[in-house]
Chains A and B, each alone.
Chain A
Amino acid sequence: MAMSQIKEVTPLPVAESIESAVSVRNISKNYGAVEALRDLSLEFPKGQLTSLLGPSGCGKTTLLKIIAGLLEPTSGEVFVNGQPVASPGPDRAFVFQDFALLPWASVLKNVTFGLEMRGVGTSEREAIAEKYIKDVGLAGFEHSYPHELSGGMRQRVGLARALAVDADVLLMDEPFSAVDEQTRRKFQEDLLGLVQNENKTFIFVTHSIEEAVYVSDQIAILLPRPSRVSEVIRPSNFRDKGVDNIRRDPEYLDIVDNIWASLRSYVE
Chain B
Amino acid sequence: MPNRALQLKILSALILCGAWQIAGLIPVSYAFPTFTETMGALFDMARSGVLFEAYAETLQPLVVGVVISAFIGIAVGLWVGLSNFFDWLFSPIFIVMQAAPLAALIPLLVLAYGIGLTSKVLVVCIMAMPVIVLNTSSAVRNTPESFKEMGRSFLAPKHSILLRIVIPAASPVIFAGLRLGVSAGFIGAILAELKITPTGVGDIITYSRSIADYPSMYAAIFSIILLAVLFLNLLEKTETVLFKGNQRGYVSD
Contact = CB atoms under 8 A, between A and B. Distances in A.
B92 interface: no
A101 B169 CA distance: 11
A147 B155 contact: no
B154 A99 contact: no
Interface in B141-163: 144, 146-147, 149-157, 160
A70 B153 contact: yes
A145 B248 contact: yes
B251 A117 contact: no
Interface string A42-65: 000000000000000000000001
Interface residues of B, number: 27
B223 interface: no
A154 to B, nearest CB: 6
A147 B154 contact: no
B154 A114 contact: yes
Interface stretch (B26-34, B174-182, B185-193, B238-246): B238-246
Interface stretch (A15-23, A74-82, A88-96, A245-253): A88-96
Given A92-B153, A113-B154, A100 B248 contact: no
B85 interface: no
Given A89-B155, A117-B157, A118-B155, A96 B248 contact: no
Interface string A133-156: 000000000000111000000100
A99 B251 contact: yes
- Counting chain A residues whose Cβ lies within 8 A of the other chain, the interface size class is 20 to 34
Contacts of B152: 69-70, 88
Contacts of B169: 102
Given A98-B146, A103-B246, A104-B244, A154 B251 contact: yes
B154 to A, nearest CB: 4
A105 interface: yes
Interface in B213-253: 243-246, 248-252
A112 B250 CA distance: 20
A94 B248 contact: no
A213 interface: no
B174 to A, nearest CB: 13
B154 A117 contact: yes
A100 B146 contact: yes
A11 B245 CA distance: 52
A1 B168 CA distance: 56
Given A104-B243, A145-B245, A68 B153 contact: yes
A146 B251 contact: yes
A147 B245 contact: yes
Interface in A100-142: 100-106, 113-114, 117-118
A165 interface: yes
Task: Give the most central of A65, A68, A99, A102: most B CB within 10 Å.
Answer: A102
Contacts of B244: 104, 145
Given A101-B251, A154-B251, A117 B245 contact: no
Interface of B: 144, 146-147, 149-157, 160, 164-165, 168-169, 171, 243-246, 248-252
Given A102-B164, A104-B244, A145-B245, 12 more contacts: A98-B251, A98-B252, A99-B252, A101-B251, A102-B169, A102-B245, A103-B250, A104-B168, A104-B171, A113-B150, A113-B156, A171-B153
7 contacts: A90-B155, A98-B252, A103-B249, A104-B171, A104-B243, A117-B160, A147-B249
Instruction: Report the 5 A-B pairs with minimum CB-CB distance, sorted nearest first.
Output: A145-B245, A147-B248, A114-B154, A100-B150, A94-B153
